[in-house]
Structure 1
Amino acid sequence: MVRRIVIVGGGSAGWLTAGLMAAEQRAGVQVTLIESPDVPPIGVGEGTWPSMRDTLRRIGVSESDFFRECDAAFKQGSRFNRWVDGGAQDYYFHPFSMPQGYSEVDLPAQWQAQHPHIPFADLVSYQPHLCVQGRAPKQPATPEYASVANYGYHLDAGKFGVFLRKHCLEKLGVQYVPDHVLAIRSHDNGDIAALQTREHGALEGDLFIDCTGMQALLLGQHYGVPLISQKHVLYNDSALAVQVPYPAADYPIASQTSSTAQSAGWIWDIGLPTRRGVGHVYASGYISDDQAEAELRAYIAQTSGQTDIPQPRKLSFSPGYRARFWHRNCVAIGLSAGFIEPLEASALALVEMSASMVCDELPADRAAMDIVARRFNEAFTYRWERVIDFLKLHYTLSRRRDSAYWRDNTAETPERLAELLTLWRHRAPSRNDFNRIEEVFPWASYQYILYGMGFRSEFSRASRPRDAAIADGYFREAASLTRKMLGALPDNRTLIHHIKQHGLQKI
């Protein structure tokens, strides 16, 4: 019987997994997390999807406490600057809210026919306008986790791991072993039997979850499951990260992650209540570390006027994912399963999806484990491939030709994405293209990126005469909602201050 679950590694991945496993597991199952005091967490993943609201609620976290202890802010989507042609006025939004009427009528066809001069997201959704005005996605009276506009979070990843650990230990009964793994002991059949630790001896388990980051101590090093490189598709392999203070305590907090394209990569900009998290993701084959740092410092000086910033922290990674994620009685979650790049903040979302599936499908005994593992591997191979397609879409559609990096980025397009782009020349992305119940990115997200990047379709299907009127009704509905929300929603800093002072109403 699967009774003892041992999670190796802490940070956001380890403690989110521990929280989900402990909050909803059957009686008799014990969750233990071992975390080496010698290995600090990477701690730069600061953006989440709206799914994090469900995850935190599922493990019993107070959203008010989360805001107070994790330096959290609201995220309502992403803004992409200078990705299309590099011009100063080149930007578009990928909001978290779906277009008004997106499942009722062919909005892209009617947008292109009626209002091609208006950016697609600005016409079909209120949320880009909330982001431009720095509005929060809810009101002070809106209960915890409820929303007026769909939202995720920006957060301090280091504080988030500490917050989750405290909750797991005090509220969920997770056993915590702060120790270093020295060796891995195996059963005769090849399963992991126990982890030999420096101070606590052997820790036995029935299922081992590898959350050891890029070192992949169990799945990668012990079992030798290889990383399938994606560097031929997505070139970025380095990042420089730095924390930038606000020039004043009441400085506005951005409602979105901003991504600004550079000569050989892009710069993220995330607003927290106490600071900005800024970093340059780049391809080391196209630009040196010194050049990348110079571009990062120039961006910070331009956006804040600050030139005296700390030395950025250098991170290196190999873009790719494991050939298998669940092997024998070991499953990898988080960076041990793979990493592509931080564009669109898919890393924590994949942690949530992985931990949820392990939790929901936890095999009762070893006989069922191989069946569950096969299903898990199939599901997440598909999901990682869709992440790669979606991220590559941003690069493939760019018209920038000012550097070899941008010129080369159109040379390698995944086969499935190339097929979809052929179809989308004559119709919009639809549910027929992404028909799984839990797609990583819904087809509306593809529409936001496709048409935000300047793609135009030659719609071959004749529209029904009433489609124009129906679509126009939804366009007017989005405009009406925009006016109402801008008049009713506070700015981010005002609402976050209220939450810290008074908290939010419980649902």
Structure 2
Amino acid sequence: MVQAIRRIVIVGGGSAGWLTAGMIAADHQAASPHGLQVTLIESPDVAPIGVGEGTWPSMRDTLRRIGVPETAFFRECDAAFKQGSLFRGWREPAGDDYYFHPFVLPQGYGEADLVGPWQAAYAQVPFADLVSFQPHLCAKGRAPKQPGTPEYAAVANYGYHLDAGKFGVFLRKHCLERLGVRYVPDHVTGIASHDNGDIAALHTREHGALAGDLFIDCTGMQSLLLGRHFDIPVISQRHVLFNDSALAVQVPYQSDDSPIASQTTSTAQRTGWIWDIGLPTRRGIGHVYSSAHTSDAQAEADLRAYVGSEGMPTPRKLTFEPGYRREFWHRNCVAIGLSAGFIEPLEASALALVEMSAALVSDDLPATRADMDVVARRFNDAFTYRWERVVEFLKLHYVLSRRDGAYWEDNRSENTIPERLRELLALWRHRPPSRLDFHRIEEVFPSASWQYVLYGMGFVPAPGGTRRADPEAAAHYYREAADLTRRMLGALPSNRELLEHIRRHGLQKI
């Protein structure tokens, strides 16, 4: 139990495996003779799922942390800028409504109550459009920075859209060439255990037994280590979030100079929603739906109606059990990525949870096996909390909808709404979401995000609910947001223009 933790073995590649390998290797000097040994086993027989094309702004910090040049990332991963999400047709039966969830905070957030004066005098204007400049940048297809802005720096906060398959290959190359990760392309055939139940080694087809001190399960939904070997079950969330299927396609642009969207667009459907992501060379489009409320054939018909039947390739079918593991770290094994759980890709939380998991493992890496159980309890507490908040935040998008049909009516049913979310909705009748509701230092979604969705979905506070509203202070910040909008629209290039500049000339180093 006092054995030092020196050998980290990661099973599974893709975005989850290579991001985790890169984080630990960079932080713990795997390329140095005195650093930790980081080994990644990736089966040549198993192709990565290749979804998760949207990221949060946190990915900028992650890539910079592991030493990735942003110019190379854009060029090799078919990446584009993402400044938030646009939701179409989620609120009203007619389906002609919209709202933005941008990546920047409302202007004056935390300095003034922006909600009461908006309701009193500007309710005809979407909340995000009034309090933030970023929805207007997205609407005009603007980039979040200028050609002279250095790598990872921003004028407007941004994340990425990317080709998930290319991203995994790019990360593998970086980890092997720059970070000292040991790569074993092989298939795991068995697991050897210590007498105390810890994993001792993994048997492989070509390389024999590979021993380790800490094993990280990035094997996707099969969860080879945590799920199959340790039999840690998934806590299903199907009773809260019904979607369990998706059809995904890649669609070319009509022309080489077609605009590239600055946001992920999520368009509500009869039994789910459709994502639309713009990359430099194509669009990634998919229909997420509930198999209990529609058939695959009808879901594909709805997708074809959105894309246009002409030229739409045969979609790829994905199925998943919405939920997360009862434990994420058990004995000397921790699951990261799909092996830890998966909830529908609304709000692109999958890669963000990978980043958070990899960072916490690396930052809190136990020095000895004796320390590991303490670290595991802390990790499990943190990620049970985070998964619960993800479920509640995604459910918020559904519970306020006024759309017709069994799918939407079931989503509004009281017995499908988590108790904590019901309590928060009652509180928010009398005050906006705030830091009082989300008090952990590293919340998954800050209170500003809850405000954007809550008021984007048409939530109306009780009369007199915002008791400390100061209309003059709020109006000052509304004017500030409008002034920033005018200046940025005049100064920022289009998404495609900046991406073409990066392809040809690159970005300045910081």
1:188 aligns with 2:195: yes
2:211 corresponds in structure 1 to 204
1:439 corresponds in structure 2 to 443
**Residues 242 and 290, structure 2, Cα contact 8 Å, conserved in 1:** yes
Match of 2:485 among 442, 463, 482: 482
**Residues 52 and 351, structure 2, Cα contact 8 Å, conserved in 1:** yes
1:286 corresponds in structure 2 to 293
- The number of equivalent residue pairs is 501
Output the amino acid matched with 2:472: A
1:327 aligns with 2:334: no
Match of 2:106 among 85, 99, 104: 99
1:406-457 C-alpha deviation (Å, 9 max, x unpaired): 1100111000000000001111101100011000000000000000000010
**Residues 431 and 466, structure 2, Cα contact 8 Å, conserved in 1:** no
2:13 corresponds in structure 1 to 10
DSSP-derived class of the 1:409 partner: helix
Correspondence 1:63-74 to 2 at 5 A? 63-74=70-81
1:452 corresponds in structure 2 to 456
* Separation (CA, whole Å) in 2 of partners of 1:28 and 1:12: 23
2:223 corresponds in structure 1 to 216
**Residues 109 and 459, structure 1, Cα contact 8 Å, conserved in 2:** no
**Residues 16 and 354, structure 2, Cα contact 8 Å, conserved in 1:** yes
2:127 corresponds in structure 1 to 120
2:41 corresponds in structure 1 to 34
Greater Cα offset, 222-231 or 19-28 = 19-28
Q: 1:462 to 1:198 in 2, by over 3 A?
A: closer
Output the amino acid matched with 1:340: I
Deviation at 1:197, TM superposition (A): 0.1
2:345 corresponds in structure 1 to 342
Match of 2:156 among 137, 142, 149: 149
**Residues 86 and 261, structure 1, Cα contact 8 Å, conserved in 2:** no
Deviation at 1:114, TM superposition (A): 2.2
**Residues 5 and 369, structure 2, Cα contact 8 Å, conserved in 1:** yes
Q: 1:188 to 1:462 in 2, by over 3 A?
A: closer
* Separation (CA, whole Å) in 1 of partners of 2:40 and 2:417: 40
* Separation (CA, whole Å) in 2 of partners of 1:126 and 1:404: 37
Deviation at 1:461, TM superposition (A): 5.5
1:48 corresponds in structure 2 to 55
Output the amino acid matched with 2:400: L
1:204-251 C-alpha deviation (Å, 9 max, x unpaired): 000000000000000000000000000000000000000000010100
Output the amino acid matched with 2:450: Y
Output the amino acid matched with 1:156: D
**Residues 8 and 37, structure 2, Cα contact 8 Å, conserved in 1:** yes
Deviation at 1:87, TM superposition (A): 2.5
* Separation (CA, whole Å) in 2 of partners of 1:94 and 1:277: 20
DSSP-derived class of the 2:143 partner: coil
2:417 corresponds in structure 1 to 413
1:505 corresponds in structure 2 to 508
Match of 1:250 among 249, 254, 257: 257
* Separation (CA, whole Å) in 1 of partners of 2:279 and 2:508: 22
**Residues 184 and 194, structure 1, Cα contact 8 Å, conserved in 2:** yes
Output the amino acid matched with 1:65: A
Correspondence 1:355-394 to 2 at 5 A? 355-394=358-397
Output the amino acid matched with 2:350: A
Deviation at 1:34, TM superposition (A): 0.2
Q: 1:23 to 1:462 in 2, by over 3 A?
A: closer
Match of 2:169 among 147, 159, 162: 162
Output the amino acid matched with 2:300: E
Deviation at 1:187, TM superposition (A): 0.2
Output the amino acid matched with 1:406: W
Correspondence 1:288-307 to 2 at 5 A? 288-301=295-308, 307=310
Match of 2:244 among 230, 237, 242: 237
**Residues 17 and 355, structure 1, Cα contact 8 Å, conserved in 2:** yes
* Separation (CA, whole Å) in 2 of partners of 1:464 and 1:432: 16
Output the amino acid matched with 1:404: A
* Separation (CA, whole Å) in 2 of partners of 1:22 and 1:425: 47
TM-score scaled by length of structure 1:
0.98
Output the amino acid matched with 2:446: P
**Residues 219 and 332, structure 1, Cα contact 8 Å, conserved in 2:** yes
Deviation at 1:469, TM superposition (A): 1.1
* Separation (CA, whole Å) in 2 of partners of 1:288 and 1:458: 40
1:460-487 C-alpha deviation (Å, 9 max, x unpaired): 467458x211111000000000000000
1:178 corresponds in structure 2 to 185
Deviation at 1:308, TM superposition (A): 2.1
* Separation (CA, whole Å) in 2 of partners of 1:464 and 1:497: 48
Deviation at 1:309, TM superposition (A): 1.4
Deviation at 1:113, TM superposition (A): 1.6
DSSP-derived class of the 1:7 partner: strand
1:496 corresponds in structure 2 to 499
* Separation (CA, whole Å) in 2 of partners of 1:373 and 1:199: 32
Output the amino acid matched with 1:97: V
- Unmatched 5+ stretches in structure 1: none
* Separation (CA, whole Å) in 2 of partners of 1:339 and 1:463: 40
1:86-107 C-alpha deviation (Å, 9 max, x unpaired): 4343110000010000110111
* Separation (CA, whole Å) in 2 of partners of 1:61 and 1:31: 18
Greater Cα offset, 23-32 or 180-189 = 23-32
**Residues 432 and 466, structure 2, Cα contact 8 Å, conserved in 1:** no
* Separation (CA, whole Å) in 2 of partners of 1:88 and 1:223: 46
Output the amino acid matched with 1:419: E
Greater Cα offset, 88-97 or 192-201 = 88-97
TM-score scaled by length of structure 2:
0.97
* Separation (CA, whole Å) in 2 of partners of 1:331 and 1:354: 9
**Residues 22 and 175, structure 2, Cα contact 8 Å, conserved in 1:** yes
Match of 1:424 among 422, 425, 428: 428
Greater Cα offset, 211-220 or 20-29 = 20-29
Deviation at 1:110, TM superposition (A): 1.7
